Each structure stands twice: as C-alpha cells, then as structure tokens.
Structure 1
Amino acid sequence: MEFNRRSFLHQTAFGLLTLGVSQSGLMRMAQTLAATNSRKLALLVGINKYGDENNNLQGCITDVSRQEELLIYRFGFLPSDIVTLTDQQATRENIETAFLEHLIAQAQPGDVVIFHFSGYGHQIKLTSADENEQKINSFLPSDGLLNQKTIANEIVLETILLLARSLSTDQVIMVLDTSHTHKGKQKIGNLRVRSFPVTSSEINPQELSLQDDLKNRIKTLKKRSSVPTLILGASEQDQVATEIIGDSWSSGLFTYVLTQHLWQITSPSQIYFILNQTSQQVTQFTGLQQQPQLLKPDKSRLIYDFISTSIGAEGVITNSNEKTADISLTGLPFNLIDDLGLSSCFVVASSEELEKDFPSPENEVLQVISKQGLNAKTQRLKPTSSLVVGQTVQEWIRVLPRQIGLIIALDSSLSRIERVDATSAFATKPIPNSIATTSNQKVDCILSKIDSNPSKAVGDPDSPNISSTAADASLAIGSYQLLSVAGTPIPSTKGLDNEAVKGAVQRLIPQLKTLLAAKLWRLTCNESSSRLRVTASIDQLTPITQNLITKNTRLTNFVKSLATNSLSSIPQIPIGTEIQYRLTNNEPEPIYCLLMGIDGSGKGFTLSLPRTEPDTETMASGQLQDNIIRSKETLVLPPNNLPTWRVARPIGLTEIYLICSSRPFEKTLKVLETSQVFHHERNPIFTLAQPLDVAQAILEDLNAASEEKRELNNTPSSYALDVNAWATLTFIYQVVEETR
C-alpha cells in the first residue's frame, strides 16, 4: 500500500479552506447527506504470526472473520468499505496508512467508522532523567519484533487516538482485543494470553514523527481536544486478554462473545444490555481475571444502532446449492460449538420475527450433516426457494450427545509417572471423561500438583515438564487440586500433602460430577434463541430494593436493565442481603421451572420445591411438585411460604440457572425425591446430593417436552431440544463480605 502520509496530512489539512465554504458549513452539509445515506467504513486487523512459532497467537484471524461477517451481514456494511489486514499484511506502516487512506480520507461527518485490532499488546517503559518510570500502552504489528526478545516497531495507543481525532465523524467505535500487562506466563490455564512477554524502553522515532504530523493536522483543522470515540477493551489495564481454544478453532474470548451477542441485538436501546451480557459471560468463564472495559467519553453515545434487521440470528449462510447450505455458527455460545450434535436444525429467518408456529411451512429447515470448527454443512429439508449468501438462520432443534463428558488436562506440574497413573485412574471412574492429549485442545478443567517445596514453581503450563527421574523420586511431596480453564483453583479441590495421584482422582470424583453437571446446565442456556416468552429478574430486597439483572427470551418485549451505564455487569451482593427471583410467563399455557446453581465453593444447590399435602391415613409425606407459572402470571422465588433467601457464604462467584419447560420435570423430581432432603422451615436453599444425576434428568425432561413439538426424530444416543419447548436463563453475581 504505497502512500505518502506526510503529503496526505498536509493536503487534507488545508484542502477544506479552498472550497469557499466554512468547515462548519461543510460539516452541516455532510450531516444532512449522512442523515439519508451515511457510509460505514471499517478497518479490521488480526495478527497470529509474529515470525516466531513460540510467540504466535491462534485466534486473531478468526476474530477478523467474525467481525467482517457481522458488519456485512448484520449491520449492512459494503464489502468494499471494509479493509482487512492480517498477519504479514499488518505491518505498522500498512496499519497506519490504511487508517489514513481508508478511514480518514473517506469518512464524512455522520459516517460510521469501526477499527478492530486483535493481536499482541505490550508496554513501553520510559525512564526520565530523574528515574521516574512511565508506562505507555502500545500494539505489536506483524513486523514489531526485531528478534524474539527485542521490540522495535510498535504502534503507540496515543497514535491510534490521534488518528481517531483526525476523523471527520464522531461515530467511531474501536474494538481492542488485546492487553498490555504481562503476568509472566503466555498461558493462564488453557487460555493463551495476548500480552507480549517483553517490554521495550523507547518509542520508534517514526511513530513520534507521525504523532507530530497528526497533532499539527488536528490543530490546523481546529478539532476539539478529544473525539467521542467509543473504545471497547478486552480487559482492564492490569488484566490480560485471552484466547479460547475449541476443536480445530480458536478466537479471542472477548471478540467471540461480543459478536455473538451483537448477532442477537434487535434494537439500539439494547446495546448497553448486550455489552453487559458480554462482560458477564467473559467473567463467568475467566473468573475475575478478565473483565472487559467500556471507555466512553461523557458526550459520546453508543452507535451500534446502524441495524439493518430486527431479527436475531444464530448463524449466516455462506454458500449453498440445490441440496446443501454452508452456515457460519456465528451467533451460538462458544461453549456449545463443539458439543452441538449432528442433526441439529436451523431455520432460514423470515423478514419478521414469527410470534408463533415456528417454523412455519414457508420457513426452510437446514439440518446439520457435518461440522468443522465454527462452520457447519447442512442438508436442505424441503427446499422452498433459492438461498442467498448472507441470509440469517435461527436455531430450532439443539441436538446434544448423551455421553458428553469432561475433558481433563494434566498440568505440566505432574511427572511422567503421575500422568500415567492419573490417566489410568480417570479411565476407571464412573464419570464420562477424556484426557487432553495436546496443549492446544479444548478442556474443561486441569489436574495440577501443588508442590510443598516453595522454591519450586508448580502449575506453570509454560514451564518444561519435570524430568521423570527427579519427579518420580518425590511423588509423595505435595498435593493435587483442580484448576479452571483460566488457571484459577477450583474451590474445595485441594488435597492434603503426600497423597497419591490415584487417591487424589478418587477424592475429586464428587467435584468432577458437579463440574460436569454445570457443563450440562450451561449447554442448555438459550435465552437468545428460546421462543418461550419468559422474563426473569433477580432483585435485591435489603437494605434497599433494586433490580440487579433482568433477562428476556427472544420473543419477550425487551426490558431495560437498571444497570444501563456500566460495563461492569457482575453485581456484588454482600453476605446477609435478602434477594428474590421473579419469573413472568407470557405464554398462553402454563410453564414449569427449576432453579439450579453453583456457589463460590463449587457446590451445586437448588431451591426447595413445593409438596403435595401429606396422606393423613398412611402419614406418608407429600410428593415434590414443580414450580408452576400460570399464563400471564409472575412467580416469586422463594415463594412467600418459605424462609427468605439471604445471601450466605462462601464468597466468590455464584451461577444461577433458571430452567423453564412447557412440560413438568417428572424425571428430575423423581431424582430429587430419592436423593434430596428438604427442610422447608430452616432455609430455602439446599446443596445437591447428586448434581450430575439431576442435570441428566433435566436433559431427559427437556427432551421429552421437545418430542411433543417436533416432527424430526432423534437417535437414542442424543437429546434433541426444541427452542419452542424450553428456556434456560443464566445469572451470575459475586458474593462479597458484608459491608459495615
């Protein structure tokens, strides 16, 4: 991309003065034109390859592809108005020149501009004459490394902000899926970090020269001191941005979740809600290690309101013929992608959302026959018309294998013999599982060793394995625990010193069952695709009454959450606070619901269920009953006849799953009846004795409810869930110490 940047800056700075009208007049004219035909421009940058295999990332090209699909097929960008720079194309010179030539030279007042960067970030540490240190955030282009340990060609954050201020429009969004603070590891748990492990001590002179040119241009144009640019950052300043790993695919966690939720947005008023959802889902996956940022000047506004359709979608057609269609599964949750089974069905979306009879006879159905990463090949069932690339599809039947298990990684802190013993021990346990065979494989948890010798670092996935001779001689030293995918200790899994690895595996079976139960519950989450009309909220009752979170399914009229101006969407609830849930049924028929949860100690729990009246003759206790929500009514949980729900220890993140069905939970109630003891008079919350059995029974009940509504048959080896028959809404909050 040949371009004289200094000449461009000079010409554009003075070109406006030669037109015979004032700059403000041109602005008003452009805004008038933009009101009917504003242009949408984007520059998308993604860098996986940095010249050294040890430093390469994996998900940045996927980020660019997902953003490009979103902008074209969801928000109506013209492909010719999107410039993508990936890998070797994304040099410092090319990135900055593309910003100048494609964005600044073309954008007019009122136009929409998107800049996306996925790649490494790092920090420049400048030391002044008086030895004060200043840390400057910067981005690493593909030619940023002089060698493996020397950075010589970075793009400073200030340069990007100056480029944004040079734009003629104030409708600017920057999505920065990178981070600048390095924690000493290139992976945390099973997630690759997007902070480069080496810092630099000076800014490239060419970068400083460009900054001077930009400042002069802004001064000449009498631009305001700042531009109301909206910046969406993947993490807070002292945190790291991460990449998730799937089966044959990888993506930036933040970009994946953000684009997934933007495929669901149907109204500009929902944007804060969508951003809060993004932050909540990222935090749910990483704990509190990665919390997305929303950087927004007071006078700016969120401008993802250039929506070309009011229909939410789970995918988009990328190719088709008379018999098959390829779809990108761009609107599905990332945890569902790899477990979504063959024979799952999607419906080609109508021009308007169907309120009932989904799918209608006019809707064409696409059934999955193969999958590769984030893409699926589907068979066209009863084709009705020609399909067009860019048509969106909505989820109808979600097929899940019955034998879903945990994928467990063995941390590098385990020796060769410990790995063999652990693999053997897991193979004999009564819980579906498999052992990850490579470091670039999706996992659900990590078995790690805690060495009792503090001088030896343990649990670092980047460190070389302990030699078998040294490690085997000290097998009795230390204990074992489970780590999350993000590398944080899973509560209540640490053992005592000197335990054998086979004994540790046996000890961890209850926690592993709870982890698998939580995985199954998460696989049922479908608030964006469910066609049950349900609204649910969690409310704080003491010391003041306020709504904390509100969730809606697809067909429910959008309810604005009270947390409208913050991206920090994980409510903090002090111990002792009284809370309640409210579920409203907008269906013409009754629905049935259960509440399941995972607390900060990693234990599964449920809310007490009502019982029938006891038999006065036999003195037998009454039978458990479903929570029933009549049509157009609201159910409060816990109900008034139970003790209040006061938030209790342990501190940490709590996940709640509100699972609704069009049919009673018959099998689930039987499991709870035989395994659970409820003492209604003391506490409405009870630890689940058999969480995995409960989770599997819930899937059986949802499968049975779906059989009434679908014509397609599923095999005995899978569940087939119909979005017309169930809804699972998720809430997450942080329990904190009581405020005084």
Structure 2
Amino acid sequence: MKRRHFLQFATSTLATLGLSQLDIQQHSWRYAKVLAQNTPRKLALLVGINNYPNDPLKGCINDTYLQRELLIHRFGFNPKDILLVTDETNIKPTRTGILEAFEEHLIKQAKPGDVVVYHFSGHGSQVFDPDTGASDQLNSTFVPIDREISKSAEQIIVSDVMGETLFLLMSALQTENVAVVLDSCHSGGGKRGNLTIRAINGGARVNPSPMERSYQEQWLSQMGKSREWLKQERQKSIAKGIVIASAARSQLAADTPFDGFHAGAFTYVLTQYLWQSTSDEPINSIIANVARSTTRISSTRQIPEFEVKKDSNNEKKPAYFLKHQLPSAEAVITKVAGNSVEFWLGGIEPQSIAAFNKNALFSIVDNQSKILGIVRLDSRNPNNGLVAQGTILETSQPKGIKPGLILQEQARAIPNNLSLRIGLDESLGADKPTASQALSRLNRIEPVELGKMEVQYIFGRMTEANYQELQERKVADIPPVGSLGLYAPGLDLIPGSFGGAKENVTAGVERLKAKFRSLLAARLVKLTLNADSSKLKVSALMKVLDSQTGQPIDVAASAFTVRGGAINSPQLPNNIKPNSGEIQGGIPNLPLGTRVQFLVENQEDKDLFVSLLVITPEGEMVVLFPNSWTATSDAALIKAGERRQIPELGKDSFKITVGKPLGNVEVLVIASASPLREALKKLQSIAVSRGERGGPLSLDDDAGSVIDDLLGDLDRGSRGSRSLYASFDSSVRSVDTAQLAAMSISFRASSG
C-alpha cells in the first residue's frame, strides 16, 4: 500500500472489544430489521480461516462473528445481507469459495451508493511480483484454506490470492462506499510466546500460480483494462473506499488467546471500540485510537494502518461509511426464555473480562437509551468466553424484553481469588515440570501451558535467539543468555525480572515471589478500569512541563469517561499544543528526564475521592495521589467542580520526572463517590513506618494489601448504593459504574 496514514493520536481512553459464536435465530432480529430498512443497502462478506492443514489458527472464525454482531446491532445490517465464509459454513474458504463469494454476494448485488464491507482473517504471505512497485518486489497475498504448493526448478508456486486481485475485485464494485478490513500479516509466522502469528513465510523464491494470473487477466479483459493500467493505478492508491490493515507490512498480526476465547488482537479492539463509540468519529481518529490497545494486547509492536482512495477524503468519513444507529453497549441479548436470557459480551475491555464471570449487573436499554430493566450475569460459557447466561432481576416491561436489546454495564464483580496465569516457555526444557511445581506452591499463581489460554506473563530463559533479536532492536540492559525471568505474552521482556545466567528454576521462582505479588496487585486494580461505562464526570490530562520553569508546554495524553459526558480538554493555557510529541502505536514516547504533571478534573456536583497509581515497566506500583501522609481522610478528596494538579506547582515539594527502566508506563486514575478510607489508612501506615510525610509512595511488597483495601472500599461503596448489590456473592468485590470512574493513561519511557 502507498500513502499509509500512521497513527498519531493519544487523547482517547483505551477501548477493547468482544465476540460471539451464536447462530442466532431469525426472529431475534426485530431491532436489526427496523434499522436495516434505511437505505443504502448494506452488504458484508466475512472470511475467517482457522483450519489450515499445517499452520492452524484459532481466532479467525471468531473475528467474523465479531464483525457480524457489530454490523447488525451497531450499524443496522440485515443478517440476510451478511455472508460468512469460514471452516464452519457451507461455503468453505477455499480459493474458489472466497473469489466466487466476492463476485456473487458483493459485485453482483452492490449498487451505486450501497455500503460494502469485506473482512479477511487468516494467514497472509508474500510472492515475487516485479510490478508491485515495492523495493523488495514482493506482493502481499491472502492464503486460502486449500493453498496449493508446487515447485518449478528453484521456484515455489502457490495459489494465494494476491493484492492485485483484491484491487481488481474492488474496482469491479459499482459503489465507492467500500471498507476492506484485513487481519493478517505478511511476514513472521509461527509462534511467538503465547501468540500465533497470522503469516506463512514467502519471499523472492515464491511465485503466484498461473491460475492467479489467469484470473486477473479475465477481470482486466472484462473491464477493458491493461496490465500496465493495473500497475499504474495500484501505485497511485487503493481502488475504492478504504482498506484497513491490522499491521504494517513488516509487522506481525497476532492471533491471541483471551479469557475463554481466541480472536485477532486488532479485530477484537476495532469492533469493541465501535461498540463503545458515542459519536460518528472519522476513520482516521478511530484507527489511531484503536492502535494503542492493539499494540498492548498483541505484544508484537503491531500498529494498524489504513489507506483511502486518492483524493476521496474518505479518511474523514465514519466507519463503514455509516452512522451509529444504537447507543453504545457492553452486550446484546440473543435469547430470552422467561426470566432467563442469553447474551454476548461484545464491549468488555480484555483485561476486565475476569470481572464478568458472575454477579455482574447490566441495564437493559432500548434503541432510545430508555432503561427497561436489570440483568444479572450468572455464568459464562466455558467453551466461548463471551457468551453469557443471566437472569432478569427487574423490568418495567416483562413482555418487552426481546432478543436484540442491548445491555450497558451497571456493576462488575471482581473475584476475590483471582490468580495470575504464568505461561511456561519451551526454553525451560526439562525444567518445565520443576518450574510448574515451584509456581504452583505460590499463592494465587497458576502455571499453564502456552497456547492453551490467556496468560499474563511467561516464565522462561533468555535464549541466544531472543538475545540477538533484542540486540537488533537496540534494547538496553539485555539479561545474559541462560538467565531466568518474565516475558510479556508476545516475548517482550519484563525489566528487572531476570537473574544470573546460572540460576536454577527453583531459585528463580523464589526470587520472583515479591514480583508476582506486585504483578497480581496490578492485574486486580486494572480490573476496575471502566472509562467506557462509568457514569461519573471525570477527566485527566498528562502535561509535559518545561524542565526549568515548570510551566506546561505540551499535552501528552488524556483520559475521560465516555458516558459520563466529561469534557476531554479542560481549560488549558493557550501555549499548550495537544499531541505534538512523538507517538508510536498511539502511545506517546517521553524521553528520560521529561518532567510531567497530571491534571484531574471533577465535573460532578459532588465531591470525589481520587487516587493516582503508576504501574512501572517492571510491574511495580507507586502512589502519586494522595500524597500527604499526615493529613486526614480528606487527603484523597477532590471537591465538586475542582481541578487538581499533581504535583501542584509552588505547593508540592516533589517533581515527577520520567526515569528508568525504559518501557511502557501506565497511570491509573481512580475516582470514587464513596470514601477510600481503608486504603488511605493503609497508605498512611506504610508512610509512617518509613518515616515519610508526603510525596509519591512506592508500594513495594505492600502493593497486594493496599489494592485489597482499595477494592474493599469500592465494594462497600457499591453495596451501600443500592439494595440490589447487597445480595452479591461474598466471593466477589462489586464496582458500580455510578460510584466509580477508573481510567488509564499510558506513555513509553524512551531513551530519546
């Protein structure tokens, strides 16, 4: 692709997404049919391939359900106008099946002004093509399930579908409103940590099959065009509409395990973001804001990008060229039987899914945002983590609860016994059983095999291959080969977790005990993040300050509650230019030594109790606010309508400066309508024991107990707000969206 638009935004809160594998009956689409009556006609072809003979994937079929549920319930597609081509459908994702489906379902039906969506999830690859215009003369391809491979002399011949072919198929459509979403990549391949890469290696020795060239010639002849025309047009731009790619040409697209299901990291983030969006945002802003979550979830430095037809201005048009037709939501009802309902959780942030296993509450909302009742989540399907069973607790319209109604979060339920899953890397070799036994002896640590389920971290050795890769990426402070430590799911190392080269597994696990406690505490507090669903009006800014004067010179990032209606940009000095810093994957890079300040604004008509927690690249936790350890319980208070600077220039004696280790830093802003008494008492006790009177407080080994007290405070506030919450199981901590706003601001500490 040419003229790619890279992602240069950092001002929206994180959002993620969900999926369903339900084959919902036709009578459940009452609301969708009403929406679908509007013109233009909306057609979608969704292709997902898991069962590749030699390189299987797990999340591609789920991607098609993600898109289907989104298109029906958020954009008003008629289910009859959405064609799925997967391993599980009558039309199989063979080369012929995909091409004929595109011709029959899209090209032959789409009229001028109609909307067309084509989604492909599966393996990508590359073939040699001197006409591509790329410096390496490689053309990206899409691998069908029946890929044919043959050899001719030193060359390999494959039956992939080339990018040129997709260009011709798009050109044949009569409408300009074409959105193509590609969740595959064209380099890498195989496994990476707990992820599977959606690529089969190609290269200069791999060539397209004669049938592929023949198919292209048929379309060129039918359109009255030459191959030279195709070469020139492809180098100008895409054929029509917009093409959204899950990763840049040289990056890796991740097939990712989540809590109870697999999906493409990008498709998951994109579709959930669109479920949560409250405005008809232009696509350039959407993809920019999606990038941050994709990068974090995939752990492969995967940055989505897009291209629009030249001079079309399509980058300023809404997703799929359509406006939203329903309120934002976390779920949608798919079946109703008396007071029992089945629904799929489409709008839950991935790291928060564990708070939606049991007792979570949802408001039943119609397409006019009117609340019709309350549903309690009773269980999630063990074979499909986003299909849930629930009970209707309250309703003003007993006969009015139908499939198609959306659900908005009212309260989540965080398990008291949640564990930290640690994947066992193959680099442990014969020591894997010993590592498993040592980890199992630790409280709330669960060792698991890689590739089976979601893991938070991976325990393994530094291999020679990993060491060389980190050197090529110019990573600082690389641990020695043979040392034991922790990796992220995509094999990015966790700073400060590696020991010496000759350390044995048992000693390594013992050394990491405190680290595990801190990482578990961080996971627990992240389960409260609810910027998409919170009803409180709160916003936060991270500002870059002049190192000498301390005056604000830039805004690096911000966060706000979407449904709370908080203003994203509180009053700022005129000299501040938002987002002028370097951004990569939606996350601002802040060089070491950068001085920053946080601004939290309470836009409620009531006082709020606020805490700011920093989670470092090492997984350690630091409290930035409250920061007066000799004050009363009001130390955490931000009054109604008040803005609080942290630190407050001219008043606070400390400064916040970006320091080592390098890597991603997450700042959690937690605002509660109920007091945080027990957590504050614990923090003050820790400070007193260390002889500290004020300033940021590192939690170290106390992180677990502090977060436990914080969750207890939130739980008491939720249960006291409504009698309905009092019946919550004692094994969970409740978090009410009307009582809590928890937001995240991320940045990357860089060397410059």
Where on the TM-score scale, by shorter chain, does this alignment land: which range?
A: 0.7 to 0.9
Matched, 1:168 2:174: yes
| Structure 1 pair 179–151 and aligned structure 2 pair: CA distance change class (3 A) | farther
Matched, 1:426 2:439: yes
Which whole-Å deviations, capped at 9, do the CAs of 1:555-602 have from their partners, x for residues lacking one? 233756856999941111122223222222222211111111222343
Residue 735 of structure 1 aligns with an amino acid whose one-letter code is A
RMSD (CA atoms): 3.3
User: Which residue of the partner structure matches residue 15 of structure 1?
Assistant: none
Is contact 1:645–1:685 with CA below 8 Å preserved after alignment?
no
User: Which residue of the partner structure matches residue 314 of structure 1?
Assistant: 330
Matched, 1:156 2:162: yes
SS in 2 for 1:493: coil
Work out the CA distance in 1 between the residues paired with 2:185 and 2:620. Answer: 33
| Of 694, 706, 723, the match for 1:711 | 723
Work out the CA distance in 2 between the residues paired with 1:144 and 1:197. Answer: 13
User: Which residue of the partner structure matches residue 588 of structure 2?
Assistant: 571
Is contact 1:265–1:271 with CA below 8 Å preserved after alignment?
no
By how many angstroms is 1:604 displaced? 1.9
| Structure 1 pair 364–514 and aligned structure 2 pair: CA distance change class (3 A) | closer
SS in 2 for 1:263: helix
SS in 2 for 1:368: strand
Matched, 1:631 2:633: no
Work out the CA distance in 2 between the residues paired with 1:556 and 1:667. Answer: 26
| Structure 1 pair 81–593 and aligned structure 2 pair: CA distance change class (3 A) | same
| Structure 1 pair 151–51 and aligned structure 2 pair: CA distance change class (3 A) | farther
User: Which residue of the partner structure matches residue 467 of structure 1?
Assistant: none
Residue 488 of structure 1 aligns with an amino acid whose one-letter code is D
Work out the CA distance in 1 between the residues paired with 2:177 and 2:150. Answer: 38
Which whole-Å deviations, capped at 9, do the CAs of 1:435-459 have from their partners, x for residues lacking one? 21464122111110236xx599999
Work out the CA distance in 1 between the residues paired with 2:712 and 2:268. Answer: 30
Work out the CA distance in 1 between the residues paired with 2:273 and 2:56. Answer: 28
Matched, 1:179 2:185: yes
| Structure 1 pair 217–586 and aligned structure 2 pair: CA distance change class (3 A) | farther
Work out the CA distance in 1 between the residues paired with 2:501 and 2:747. Answer: 33
Work out the CA distance in 2 between the residues paired with 1:628 and 1:456. Answer: 47
Work out the CA distance in 1 between the residues paired with 2:157 and 2:340. Answer: 48
User: Which residue of the partner structure matches residue 210 of structure 1?
Assistant: 215
Is contact 1:610–1:625 with CA below 8 Å preserved after alignment?
no
User: Which residue of the partner structure matches residue 39 of structure 1?
Assistant: 41
Q: What is the correspondence of 1:273-352 to structure 2 with a 5 Å cutoff?
A: 273-287=285-299, 289-297=301-309, 299-301=313-315, 302-304=317-319, 306-352=322-368
Work out the CA distance in 2 between the residues paired with 1:382 and 1:624. Answer: 37
User: Which residue of the partner structure matches residue 475 of structure 2?
Assistant: none
User: Which residue of the partner structure matches residue 488 of structure 1?
Assistant: 492
By how many angstroms is 1:348 displaced? 0.9
Residue 373 of structure 2 aligns with an amino acid whose one-letter code is N
Bigger shift: residues 593-602 or 55-64: 593-602
By how many angstroms is 1:202 displaced? 1.0
| Of 686, 689, 710, the match for 1:698 | 710
Is contact 1:626–1:665 with CA below 8 Å preserved after alignment?
no
User: Which residue of the partner structure matches residue 680 of structure 2?
Assistant: 669
Is contact 1:294–1:567 with CA below 8 Å preserved after alignment?
no
User: Which residue of the partner structure matches residue 68 of structure 1?
Assistant: 68
User: Which residue of the partner structure matches residue 95 of structure 1?
Assistant: 98
Matched, 1:135 2:138: yes
Bigger shift: residues 531-540 or 226-235: 226-235
Provide structure 2 residue ranges, at least 5 long, that are not aligned to the other structure.
1-35, 470-479, 570-577
TM-score for the superposition, normalised by structure 2: 0.81
User: Which residue of the partner structure matches residue 123 of structure 1?
Assistant: 126
Matched, 1:254 2:258: no
Bigger shift: residues 365-374 or 233-242: 365-374
Matched, 1:546 2:554: yes
Matched, 1:49 2:51: yes
Residue 685 of structure 2 aligns with an amino acid whose one-letter code is T
Work out the CA distance in 2 between the residues paired with 1:611 and 1:143. Answer: 65
Which whole-Å deviations, capped at 9, do the CAs of 1:599-641 have from their partners, x for residues lacking one? 23432222152437xxxxxxxx545754322222222222232
Is contact 2:417–2:444 with CA below 8 Å preserved after alignment?
yes
Residue 504 of structure 2 aligns with an amino acid whose one-letter code is A
Spell out structure 1 runs of 4+ moving beyond 6 A.
Answer: 147-151, 220-225, 455-459, 564-567, 677-683
Is contact 2:532–2:563 with CA below 8 Å preserved after alignment?
no
Provide structure 1 residue ranges, at least 5 long, that are not aligned to the other structure.
1-33, 355-359, 460-475, 613-620
Residue 479 of structure 1 aligns with an amino acid whose one-letter code is S
| Of 368, 383, 389, the match for 2:403 | 389
User: Which residue of the partner structure matches residue 611 of structure 1?
Assistant: 628
Work out the CA distance in 2 between the residues paired with 1:395 and 1:587. Answer: 20
| Structure 1 pair 164–338 and aligned structure 2 pair: CA distance change class (3 A) | same
Work out the CA distance in 2 between the residues paired with 1:36 and 1:519. Answer: 44
User: Which residue of the partner structure matches residue 573 of structure 2?
Assistant: none
Work out the CA distance in 1 between the residues paired with 2:391 and 2:338. Answer: 9
Work out the CA distance in 2 between the residues paired with 1:165 and 1:100. Answer: 12
**Higher RCO (CA 8 Å, separation ≥ 6 residues):** 2
Work out the CA distance in 2 between the residues paired with 1:271 and 1:198. Answer: 31
Work out the CA distance in 2 between the residues paired with 1:70 and 1:396. Answer: 21
By how many angstroms is 1:725 displaced? 0.9
Work out the CA distance in 1 between the residues paired with 2:579 and 2:43. Answer: 30
Which whole-Å deviations, capped at 9, do the CAs of 1:46-72 have from their partners, x for residues lacking one? 0011234xx111111100011001001
Q: What percentage of aligned pairs have identical amino acids?
A: 29
Residue 153 of structure 1 aligns with an amino acid whose one-letter code is S
| Structure 1 pair 262–680 and aligned structure 2 pair: CA distance change class (3 A) | farther
Is contact 1:576–1:647 with CA below 8 Å preserved after alignment?
yes
SS in 1 for 2:137: strand
Bigger shift: residues 203-212 or 551-560: 551-560
Work out the CA distance in 1 between the residues paired with 2:369 and 2:77. Answer: 22
SS in 2 for 1:730: strand
Residue 545 of structure 1 aligns with an amino acid whose one-letter code is I
Is contact 1:272–1:567 with CA below 8 Å preserved after alignment?
no
Residue 641 of structure 2 aligns with an amino acid whose one-letter code is K
| Structure 1 pair 486–174 and aligned structure 2 pair: CA distance change class (3 A) | same
SS in 2 for 1:518: helix
Number of aligned positions between the proteins: 665
SS in 1 for 2:427: coil
User: Which residue of the partner structure matches residue 515 of structure 1?
Assistant: 519
Work out the CA distance in 2 between the residues paired with 1:477 and 1:653. Answer: 24
By how many angstroms is 1:151 displaced? 6.2
SS in 2 for 1:346: strand
Is contact 1:584–1:634 with CA below 8 Å preserved after alignment?
yes
Is contact 1:600–1:652 with CA below 8 Å preserved after alignment?
yes
Is contact 2:74–2:326 with CA below 8 Å preserved after alignment?
no
Work out the CA distance in 2 between the residues paired with 1:409 and 1:455. Answer: 19
TM-score for the superposition, normalised by structure 1: 0.83
User: Which residue of the partner structure matches residue 110 of structure 2?
Assistant: 107
Work out the CA distance in 1 between the residues paired with 2:655 and 2:156. Answer: 60
